[in-house]
Structure formats: C-alpha cells, structure tokens
Amino acid sequence: MIREAPEYAGLQDGADPIVGAEALARAIPSVSNGPWKITSYRPRRFEVRKKDVALAGELVLAARNGRPSRQLAFEASHRAAEPGAWAGRDLESGLFFRVSPADPALPSLAALGSAPGLLEAMDGGPADLVAHRFERRAVLRLRRNDAPPAWMKLWAKDTASRVVELHEILESAADSFRVARAQVHDRRRRLVLFDDLAGVSLHDRLADLEPEEGERLARLLHAIAATDTPDLPAWTAADELANVDRFVERLRRVRPEAADDLAARVETFRAESAPEDGPLGLAHRDLHDKQIVLGPDGRYGVLDWDLAAAASPALDAGNLVAHFALRGRQRPELAPRLDAVAESLTRNWCRDEADARRLDWWTRATLLRLVAVYALRPGEEATSSALLELSDHGGRS
C-alpha cells in the first residue's frame, strides 16, 4: 500500500531563479545578464545555456567527466557549499563559476536541501542528485545506512499520479517482469519515492552477454506489450517522427552542419511509408540496456515508466536493437557479441514479415534520434556519425 507523504516543516513551494556562472558571464561580454538554464545535470556531467547576444542564439556550456566541452573547456571541480550545487573552473580564463540545480518548474528540488525532515520522514538519508532534465523532471538517490537506496522522482507536470497508477497495475498484473514499488506519493509536490529494484543492469552485463539473451529479451518484450494497462496515451509513427524533428532542431542550435546532414536523412526516411502499427500494446518508449535489470530471482526488472504509452510493440523492440548497435559503436570490442544478441532478439521477436518491417522502421527511427542525442554530447561525434550510417539499414553492420 502506498503511503501518503507526511507533513514536514521546511519545504516551501517557490524557488529563486537559477543561480549560476556569474563570474564566467562577466568574462564573456556578449552574454546577456539573464539566468543560466540547466538543461541537463548529472554528477560530473552537466549542460547550461544562456542567451548570447552576439550570436543571437544560446551559449551552451557543458562538462562531462572532466573532458573539455565543444564550446568552452570546463572541468568539474568540487561540490559547492549549498546542497546539490556544483563549482567548476573555466580552463581558459581560470575563473571559477557556480551552477545550482534550482528549477522554477521543480520548486521542491531547490527546497529539498533545506528540508531534511522530508527525507527522514520518507525513511531516507542524504540525497544525491542523479539526473535533472530542466523544467521536466529530477531523480535523487536517497542513501540509507543498513538498507538499499531509495529513489525519489520529481516531475514538472502532473506525471506522478499516472506513473504510480501504472506501477500498481504492473505490480499486480505482470508475472514475468518486475517494477519498482512506489513507497510514498506526494500529489501536491508531484514526487514519488520508489524502492530500489534489485539486480544487475543489462548495461553492466554487456561484456558477458550470449546470443541466448536475445531470446529472453524477446519474451520480455512480448510480455510487456501484452500487459493490459487501460487509458494510456497513444504514440504513433507520426509522433515518433515529430520527436526526431525536435531533436534535429535542438542540434541545429549548436551544430548546424550536422543538423543539416541529419535532416536530409530524416526526410529520406520520412518519404518511405511507415508500416501499419498492427495491434497496439503497452510500450515503455525509452527501453534500453540501462533500464533492464536481472534480479536475484532470475526475472528481468524494468525501470522508469514515465513515458509509457499505447503503441506498436515494435517501438520497444526497435529501441533495444538500436541501443545494442549504439553500445557496439561505443565499445567496438563488444560489437560482434552485441550484434549476435540483437540478431537473436530480432529472430525470436518477429513472428511474421509484418513484424520484421515494423521492427526495421522503429529501429531506424530510434537511430536517427540517437544521432542527434550523441552529436550534442562532447566527445561523441564519432559515435553519432557511425549511428547515422547505421540508420540506413536498421542498425545492422
């Protein structure tokens, strides 16, 4: 039974605008006096944006594992005094800057650091900010002394209620795979506390995977699609292409030439007729190797159902096949192994030629989206280029 969030002192709605990088901004005269927007945040990897008057666009500053970014060179140095903030140093100017992950759409995120009573009331300890998508959602890991961690998710929109309802349905209806149990649901602040989903992720097992894993994953995909979950929003091939278009436009603001190349591939792909979706089923919509864990009982667990929709079962299958292709490009020594797993998954998932056509289409659509995602990440240009070539033939080398 999900507990209601307890009352606690110290957590106030509303937060100051994002504070960050004032010293660095003074060293770049063309940058406006407006606030930095954090568009991506993970430990030792973040991205901030600010309007650049001279460029009539946005200046994007990023750091990832201490490697230089494309626009300016940064290194993550240490946590600042306030909870959740980061300090860094511009390697060119030597100036230090501060980035605090406050978010006007997630006021509870800024307040958590000053409200330890909330974390204690939810059986939690110190919290680490694991992921932050600006004006969308945040994920925190709550450390507990003698127990597995708990995971708190906050949403800008009223997503929490829908996610909790879906988790309850999946807990009771899905025998062949596991989901994290929701412990606490705070409707007013749009946050949910989840139990840890025990197991080892597929991503951490990539070097040990055998082709037989593809057969097991195909069974998982069929089990997900067959789960009866009423009242989910629909997601069609047209929606997927519109999503790819949005990623292309994001890329255009930073790397216009790369965006032009990708846009040309997308238009060629769009000109091909998308196959009929066939019967719709439950789709995770962001299924990849980091979302699937193998538990102590031998069953898979599936994380992060925020984007779940009623869609073609080929959507999740295509996402997974595309991510095996991605990991093979990131870790070339594993490519033959991962290609074999993807081939086994494809062979066991497809029940007829229509399934094969759907899987090919959704795999290619996912690859086109990933081209933009990785073109935006410092140091991943070669990965993005490799995925662009693979998108012509469904991830097959």
DSSP at 27: T
Question: If pLDDT is split at 50, 70 and 90, which confidence band does 84 have?
Answer: very low
Taking Cα atoms as reference points, which of 347, 365, 369, 344 lies closest to residue 356? 347
Q: Which residues pair with 37 in a beta bridge?
A: 49
Q: Please, which pLDDT band fits residue 330 given cuts at 50, 70 and 90?
A: very high
- Helix runs in the chain, H state only: 22-26, 107-112, 116-121, 160-173, 212-226, 237-252, 256-271, 314-330, 335-349, 353-375, 381-390
By C-alpha distance, which of 198, 153, 231 is closest to 300?
A: 198
| Dihedral sign for Cα atoms in the order 170, 171, 174, 176 | positive
> Residue 2: phi, psi to the nearest 5?
-80, 130
CATH code of the domain covering residue 176: 3.30.200
* Residue 396 pLDDT > 80: no
User: Which of the four pLDDT bands, split at 50, 70 and 90, describes residue 9?
Assistant: very low
Q: Is residue 379, in this structure, part of any structural domain at all?
A: yes
Give yes or no: residues 91 and 130 share one domain. no
- Is the same domain home to 55 and 158? no
Same domain, 140 and 170: yes
Rounded to 5°, the CA angle 83-136-130 comes to 40
What is each CA distance from 24 to 17, 66, 98, in whole angstroms?
A: 18, 17, 9
Same domain, 34 and 138: no
Would strands 74-79 and 177-178 be described as parallel, antiparallel, or unpaired? unpaired
Average pLDDT (77-91) is 37
Same domain? For 279 and 375 the reply is yes
- For residues 276 and 344, membership in a common domain is answered with yes
Q: Between 164 and 378, where is the model more confident? A: 164
- 17 domain residue, yes or no: no
Q: Mean pLDDT over residues 43-53, rounded?
A: 47
* Tokens standing for residue 44: 């030792």
Beta-sheet pairing, 281-283 with 292-294: unpaired
- Asked if residue 252 and residue 184 are part of one domain, the reply reads no
> How far is Cα 358 from Cα 308, in angstroms, rounded to an integer?
19
Residue 15 lies in a domain: no
Considering the domain boundaries, does residue 151 fall inside one?
A: yes
Pick 85 or 107 by higher pLDDT.
107
- Would residue 16 count as lying in a domain? no
Does some domain include residue 314? yes
- 393 DSSP 8-state letter: G
Are 385 and 347 in a shared domain? yes
Residues 345 and 221 in one domain: yes
Whether 209 has a pLDDT exceeding 60, the answer reads: yes
Give the pLDDT band (50/70/90) at residue 266. Answer: very high
Q: Model confidence over 217-237: pLDDT tens digits?
A: 999 999 999 998 888 999 999
Per the CB < 8 A criterion, the answer to whether 222 and 184 are in contact is: no
Q: Which of 88, 36, 39 is nearest to 373 (CA)?
A: 39
204 & 181 share domain = no
SS (H, E, C) 113-127: CCCHHHHHHCCCCCE
Is 185 in the same domain as 223?
Answer: no
What domain range is 48 assigned to?
22-99
Instruction: Tell me how far apart the alpha carbons of residues 294 and 344 are, in angstroms, rounded to a whole number.
Output: 18
Highest mean pLDDT among 1-15, 31-45, 154-168: 154-168
For residue 145, the tally of other CB atoms under 10 A from its CB is 5
Its pTM surpasses 0.75: yes
Residue pair 387/369 in contact (Cβ under 8 Å)? The answer is: no
How far from chain centre, in Å, is Cα 362? 18
Q: HSE (CB half, 13 Å, CA atoms) of 248?
A: 21
Overall domain count for the chain: 3
Close Cβ partners of 95 (under 8 Å, ≥ 6 residues apart)? 23, 24, 26, 27, 89
CATH number, domain at 312?
A: 3.90.1200.10
DSSP secondary structure code for residue 141 in this structure: E
Are residues 348 and 296 part of one domain? yes
Mean pLDDT of 301-329: 96
- Whether 288 shows a pLDDT value over 90: the answer reads yes
| Domain-terminating residue out of 99, 130, 149 | 99
Could you tell me the sign of the dihedral formed by the alpha carbons of 291, 223, 244, 242, in that order? Answer: negative
